[in-house]
Chains A and B, each alone.
Chain A
Amino acid sequence: MDTAAIPHGASPPEAKRNPATSNPDELAELRRLLLGGDLETILQDAQPALEAQAVSEVLAEAIAQSHAQSQKQLTQAAVPTVETAIQTSVETNINILSEALFPIIGPATRKSVAAAIRNLTQSLNQGLEHSLSPQSFKWRWEARRTGRSFAEVVLLRTLVYQVEQVLLIHKETGLLLQQVVSEQTQSQDPDLVSAMLTAIQDFVQDSFNVQSGGSLDTLEVGEMNIWIEAGPQAVLACVIRGTAPQELRGQLQTTLEQIHRAYAAPLKGFEGDQAPFKSSQTYLQDCLKAQFKTQGNGEKQRPTKLLMALGCLTLLLGAWLGLKIQTGHRWQNYVSQLEQEPGLVVIQQQRQGGKFKLSGLQDPLARSPEALLAQTKLQPEQVTMQWEPYLSLDQAFTLKRWQTRLAPPDGVTLRLDANQVLHISGTAPEAWISLSQRLLHRGEGLQDWNTEGLISQDRQQLLALKDRIEQRSILFLPGSSKIEPSQQGTLQAQQQDLAEFLQTAQAIDLAVYITLAGYSDPTGNDQENHKLSQARATAVEQALVQPGIPAQAIATQARGVSSSPTSADLPSAARRVSITIEAPQLQIVPSPAS
């Protein structure tokens, strides 16, 4: 109880303790009665030193009692003194007070900062609420499942990190006090790192004129982060791979405060000896551990609902992708069809979003790309095409072009050989042949042409007519030059054929010489016979001439006695007039016009 704490011989406080039973006036009276005036004198004369000693003996108890009875006077009386004391302490050496306060200020600040962060998380949450991505879908699901806030889940999922090295550095000298390294990491020489970090701190502080207390607290090098937490005597530096959560900062602060408390004396008296700080390893280890907590939490349960939802999504995605691939496939097919099509050259094709674009060259004779497109399952509005005209030198194409250009009549075939020589064969009217000879020229895929197999229909006909006319003879009775009625049929036939011959020959500009040769049989004298043969030729000439067979086209000849009758068996055959036709340029194949 209270009495146990009372220092020996402290009676005045005892009296005060029981004010109900003892009255101060009564007590003085009692004392005077018991001891008389002598002792009072002695007490009054007692040395001040003795009083000080006595007061010091009871001071602590007195203050404690004053406090216990919640008497404000003492506190109020002490305020000015304490205030002055603090002021003096700050003026003399600010470090003493700041070092004393350091372990207190840390936790206090953290409390208020934690509240601030909570608010921030909330607003972050709202911001993220609006973002949408496959990942956010997954996280949103997880948040609902676990009852966490969405922001919390996002932070948790995005933070993957490892603290690889923790250095405890003496602030003033930059010398390393202690370090821990996580397993499987290769660390730099910590002595050099800690000195360098200190140099960087100095540099930053000097260069940017930071107010005292402010300091560099994060360094970023690629995916490595160095977090620096500075206390009054020591600095904690963490080498972190990846993104660490803010809790780690709290861990660093706590650890640093603990170290300041536990190693206050060795830190103050540090002369370069690391030995006293060996045991600080256990504190530093706490900072290494911080990572496992965060990483360990991940992927505990595989939620079937989430998987199902993802499955659906995958299915939709698959269908969409499939469609996209199929359309792409169709497009590729179409393009390669165009590439194989003679007379079409694809120069550029591209796919932009769901649209296709194509440009190229088109021979006027080529099949229409639009028509080819219509045969595919592609939507015409998906496709934009631009074609420039050109002449294809493709063999099939050259042939086709000449086919169109020459327009050969039935019975004529065109063939292009590997040497790009056009072979024209068959039968054609002379007019077409001479026209085609004017049209044909080298170039545009044509090296030469060959018309050896081409026969002129007109000349063919002329030769046939000539043959027929020359086969026939008009016969006479002995000694007569009169055309007998029996010969009228032959005469008409000759007349008809001859007229046709002349007409055709004229059409193709052919020079023709017609000779009527008169003959007689051997009976009688030669002079008579010669006369008779002339009379017979003249008679036929007169009978033949008519419109279409001009007299000047015909010559007569008296051949006298026939030496070689056409039909030797019949004597009448010797008395005849036959027709011969001479046409020096009548050949079946016209010579190439070159």
Chain B
Amino acid sequence: MIQKKVCMVGAFATGKTSLVARFVKGIYSDKYQTTIGVKIDKKVVETGANPLTMVLWDIYGEDEFQNIRMSYLRGAAGYLLVVDGTRRETLDIAIQLQAKVEDHIGPVPFIVMLNKCDLEASWEITPADLEALAQRGWKMIKSSAKEDQGVQDAFAHLAQQMTGASAQSQEAA
């Protein structure tokens, strides 16, 4: 069995915990309970021939009081950079965080999740912003933990990038 450490990184309340809950347990709640420290979960996905265990480190979101502890990212094989489409500043934070993470653990695969796409009508992030990200060569996936859009996709893509194989998510029984 191959295992990989995967981190959820982003500003606070962007939906990191919700995305993990959706991905691992298939559930969603509108209630916001901020994460304190780290929450660990895991999920087995099929990548080509071998199953892969993703050990998910759901790290508390960065806010004005607390920077993310970089030591939590040590040894991560990949990470998801979560942005809340309805809050422009979460994108700026994501860009800063990406630089910091890369500085700390080197260039490992990551995917930007543009979350809360069910609210796309009221997004503050513009197509121009997305264009700028694409220019950097960043892989982006629009997602909604609420309506289960792009979630499986994003994790599967990351799994694939981490193992170099074509990945497909294994649904929970």
Do chains A and B stick together as partners? yes
Interface residues of A (CB under 8 A from B): 170, 172-176, 189, 191-192, 195-196, 199, 202-203, 205-206, 271-275
Which of B10-18, B34-42, B85-93 contacts the other chain? B34-42
Could you mark each residue 56-93 of chain B with 1 if its beta carbon is under 8 Å from any beta carbon of chain A, else 0? 01000000000001011011110000000000000000
What are the interface flags for B35-54 relative to A under an 8 Å C-beta threshold, 1 for contact and 0 otherwise?
A: 00110111000000000110
> Which 7 A-B residue pairs are closest in the complex by CB-CB distance?
A173-B75, A172-B75, A202-B71, A199-B38, A195-B40, A173-B5, A272-B3
Q: Which of A195, A203, A206, A275 makes the CB contact (< 8 A) with B5?
A: A195
Q: Contact between B75 and A170 (Cβ–Cβ < 8 Å)?
A: yes
Q: Which residues of B contact A199 (CB under 8 A)?
A: 37-38, 40, 57, 72
B69 — which chain A residues lie within 8 A by C-beta? 202-203, 206
B72 touching A202 by the CB < 8 A rule?
A: yes
Can you list 7 contacts pairing A with B, beta carbon distance less than 8 Å?
A170-B75, A191-B42, A191-B53, A192-B55, A195-B57, A199-B38, A272-B3
The residue on A at minimum CB distance from B75 is: A173
Choose from B38, B41, B55, B72 the contact partner of A175 (Cβ within 8 Å): B55
Contact residues in B for A275 (Cβ distance below 8 Å):
1
Judge whether B72 and A196 touch: CB under 8 Å: no
Extra A-B contacts (13), CB below 8 Å, given A174-B75, A205-B71: A172-B74, A175-B3, A175-B75, A189-B42, A191-B42, A191-B55, A196-B38, A199-B57, A199-B72, A202-B74, A272-B2, A272-B77, A274-B3
**A192 B40 Cβ-Cβ under 8 A:** yes
Chain B residues with a Cβ closer than 8 Å to the other chain, count: 21
Residue of B nearest to A193 (CB): B40
Complex CA–CA separation, A424 to B166 (angstroms): 117
Interface core residue of A170, A202, A273 (most chain B CB under 10 Å): A202
Shortest CB–CB separation between residue B75 and chain A, in angstroms?
A: 3
Give the residues in chain A near B75, CB-CB below 8 Å.
170, 172-175
Smallest distance from the beta carbon of A408 to chain B beta carbons, Å? 89
Residues of A within 8 A of B53 (CB): 191
Asked whether, in the complex, the Cβ of B71 is within 8 Å of the Cβ of A192, the reply is: no
Q: Smallest Cβ distance from B56 to chain A, in angstroms? A: 9
Question: Can you name the residue of chain A whose Cβ is closest to the Cβ of B38?
Answer: A199
**Minimum CB–CB distance for A177 against chain B, Å:** 9
A444 to B60, CA, bound (A): 80
Q: B4 contacts which chain A residues (CB < 8 A)?
A: 175, 272
Q: Chain B 91-115, CB within 8 Å of chain A: the 1/0 string?
A: 0000000000000000000000000
* Candidate in A195, A205, A206 with the most chain B CB atoms within 10 angstroms: A195
